[in-house]
Amino acid sequence: MNITEEYLRSIDVHSVLPQQEPFVMIGSLTHFEMMTSTTETKIDEQNIFVDNGKFSAAGMMENIAQTCAARIGFYNKYILKKDVQMGFIGAVRNYVVKRLPEVGSTITTKVDILEEIFGMTLANAEVMANGEVVATAEIKLSVRSIE
């Protein structure tokens, strides 16, 4: 299946995430492969994780988790034709924030899946703003069906 960026951008992210406003921290899914996915998000001053004109470290961590969730949600909904699953952060390791992105900037978040087993996903994540890496982390997520 050839999944283009244009096709991915046409999908409302609310359809692949269990979260709803005001807690949606990604703008669009821009790349999907089984082991790598990318999202893009414009930082809006109304975002609940913006403080003093900057997107907080907590906001970037939620953005990373939702990038993982969008990957799983897209796969379930558009490939397997199943329901979206709820995800939970199981662990975060080596979370490094180099700088906080400013309001108005666009961040790109990439997750590379290291392992998936028994409903657990281990991934490396990288958040970029203006071509610069602003945060990195290892994240472990657990998923289950929404009932």
Q: pTM score, two decimals? A: 0.93
Residue 68: CA atoms inside 13 Å, Cβ hemisphere, count? 30
Average pLDDT per consecutive 10 residues, the chain (147 residues; last block may be shorter): 87 92 94 96 97 97 95 92 86 97 98 91 96 97 70
Residue 20: the pLDDT is 86
Residue 119: the pLDDT is 81
Residue 84: the pLDDT is 80
Q: Does domain 5-145 have CATH number 3.10.129.10?
A: yes
In the chain, where are the structural domains located?
A: 5-145
Distance CA 7, CA 4 (A): 5
Neighbours of 31 (CB within 10 A): 16
By three-state DSSP, how is residue 45 classified?
coil
Residue 1: the pLDDT is 59
Residue 145: the pLDDT is 58
